[in-house]
Structure 1
Amino acid sequence: MGIDYHTHHDRCGHAEGCLEEYVRKALEIGLTQLGLSDHMPLIHIDPATYYPGMAMPMEELPAYVEECFLLKEKYKGQIDIRVGLEGDYIEGYEEEIERIVRSYPWDYVIGSVHFLGEWDISDHRQLDGWKTRDVNEVYKQYYDAVQKAAKTGLYDFIGHIDVIKRFGYQPNEDMTSLEKETLDVIKRQDLAIELNASGLRMPTKEMFPSRRMLEYCLTKGIPVTLGSDAHTPGRLAQYLDEAEALLKEIGFRELATFERRQRRMISF
């Protein structure tokens, strides 16, 4: 059983390859389930004046969903395609996010925090933002946003939950209690998280989340799914063998899958 629930495609402006190329690659490498999960359009900034290539234009969203479902039908019986969205959580824009989430028949919606205000903490072009901020305070603001995202009820799982570490900026305060507090919120909301393997190819050189967070998830009974965060077809399922091995080593025996916003656990 091979799954990959986090992928991006050329519509988002910073990935390569059309949706069908990902489907064909998934068939080639033997995935059983493929999640198509491009970025939600930007809603809190003007795309025309912001950094280019951040997300698909709003006018492309209906075409994205339509193409996903056409591919789901076209490849039925060959691979199980799940239609998803990485729905950025933007504090203060919950109603706008909800309209997008409720307007389409998603199989799942990933709750991810990239933006703190208008600053995208995951964008390599915006690293100067760290120079004028206290790293400890950024971490606290970030995890506060993740907790608020979880409480909205709009998402099925939280994506790359500690992506704040992506570029190697580390707090000098111990954030373990804050991490646990955030995971406790996720547990109370009956959400899953993803083990996003893409951190292995980034400056942090560690998956999202850390082993200590995964160990805490196991003790709390928080389900985990898998995602490569591929931005090219060639990176589909990249490092997911290592991710599965880590989960098994920690003690996980099941993975979360999603269909029509319902979670189902499968053995792996």
Structure 2
Amino acid sequence: MKIDYHTHHARCGHATGSLEDYVKRGIEIGLAQIGLSDHIPLVHVDPADYYPEMAMPLEELPRYVEECFELKAKYAGRIDVRVGIEADYIEGWEEEIARLLEPYRWDYVIGSVHFLDRWDVTDFRQTHEWDGKDRMAVYERYYDAVAKAAATGLYDYIGHIDVIKRFGFQPEGDVQHLERAALEAVRRHGLAIELNASGLRMPAAEMFPSRRMLEYALELGIPVTLGSDAHQPERLGQYLSEARELLKEVGFTQLATFKDRTRIMIDF
């Protein structure tokens, strides 16, 4: 079964294509399930006083959900559309995030750490924030946020768990203890993670997470799902064949899928 649970579209401001474009592309490439999972509106910064085109405007959230369910019905029998959201974890803003999520009937919610306060560590326009910083301290702070996200009960799985490496900024010391602590938090709170293939087209030049993190996830019994993190319809499913092969090499035999906030394991 071919799945892709991590996708974005034009509403977020930094992707292209409509939701329906992604669904049609999913049918074209033979996906059995497509997860629609655009970025939740920003809660901790004023969009008018921040970098543009970061996430969908607040007023678009109900329209996004409505359109997802319309497409789910329209294409039933041709592709299984799962309705999701990528909900940034922002320390100290847990109640606000919960209020945004609560009204809607999600199939799944991705918990991703992009922000350390106002700094989006995944934004190419903000790489200057690394200047003069103790990189190990940044990694410690990042992985601490991942562990806190896992503990909130807001999420079904953690997205691109080691995305802090995206632009190639690495500490001099070993960060394996931080990676393992984050995975242990994921296991402790019963979440899954994703193998996000988009890292192959970024300066990090490897998927999120790394093979060594996948090996430890397998050891801990953490379920894994798949996502391309496509921001253009033509990138839907990109590198997911390589991702499936990597999972098989590591020793995984099943993938996590989600429906009505329930995890369903499937063989692959």
Q: Same fold (TM over 0.5)?
A: yes
| Mapping 1:156-235, distance limit 5 Å | 156-235=156-235
Number of the residue aligned with 2:45: 45
| Mapping 1:249-264, distance limit 5 Å | 249-264=249-264
Amino acid in the other structure paired with 1:67: E
**TM-score of the two chains, using structure 2 as the length reference:** 0.99
Distance (whole Å) between structure 2 residues aligned to residue 256 and residue 133 of structure 1: 37
Report the alpha carbon displacement of residue 49 of structure 1 after superposing the two structures with TM. 1.3
Distance (whole Å) between structure 1 residues aligned to residue 116 and residue 178 of structure 2: 17
Number of the residue aligned with 1:131: 131
Distance (whole Å) between structure 2 residues aligned to residue 75 and residue 55 of structure 1: 26
Deviation by residue 1:54-81 (Cα, 9 ceiling, x = unmatched): 0000000000000000000000111000
Deviation by residue 1:207-245 (Cα, 9 ceiling, x = unmatched): 000000000011110000000000000000000000000
The reply to whether residue 95 of structure 1 matches residue 99 of structure 2 is no
For the residue of structure 2 that corresponds to 1:256, the secondary structure is strand
Distance (whole Å) between structure 1 residues aligned to residue 82 and residue 99 of structure 2: 20
Distance (whole Å) between structure 1 residues aligned to residue 65 and residue 132 of structure 2: 39
Number of the residue aligned with 1:236: 236
| Mapping 1:60-79, distance limit 5 Å | 60-79=60-79
Deviation by residue 1:174-206 (Cα, 9 ceiling, x = unmatched): 111111111111001010000000000000100
Report the alpha carbon displacement of residue 22 of structure 1 after superposing the two structures with TM. 0.2
Distance (whole Å) between structure 1 residues aligned to residue 168 and residue 40 of structure 2: 26
Number of the residue aligned with 2:14: 14
The reply to whether residue 140 of structure 1 matches residue 140 of structure 2 is yes
Gaps of 5+ in 2: none
Report the alpha carbon displacement of residue 101 of structure 1 after superposing the two structures with TM. 1.6
Amino acid in the other structure paired with 2:122: S
Across the two proteins, how many residue pairs are aligned to each other? 268
Amino acid in the other structure paired with 1:209: P
Aligned CA-pair RMSD: 0.5
For the residue of structure 2 that corresponds to 1:194, the secondary structure is strand
Report the alpha carbon displacement of residue 172 of structure 1 after superposing the two structures with TM. 1.0
Distance (whole Å) between structure 2 residues aligned to residue 224 and residue 101 of structure 1: 23
The reply to whether residue 28 of structure 1 matches residue 28 of structure 2 is yes
Distance (whole Å) between structure 2 residues aligned to residue 224 and residue 266 of structure 1: 11
Q: Which consecutive segments of 4 or more residues in structure 1 shift more than 2 A?
A: none
Deviation by residue 1:115-173 (Cα, 9 ceiling, x = unmatched): 00000000000011000311110000000000000000000000000000000001111
Number of the residue aligned with 1:108: 108
For the residue of structure 1 that corresponds to 2:48, the secondary structure is coil
Gaps of 5+ in 1: none
The reply to whether residue 122 of structure 1 matches residue 137 of structure 2 is no
Deviation by residue 1:92-123 (Cα, 9 ceiling, x = unmatched): 10000011121110000000000000000000
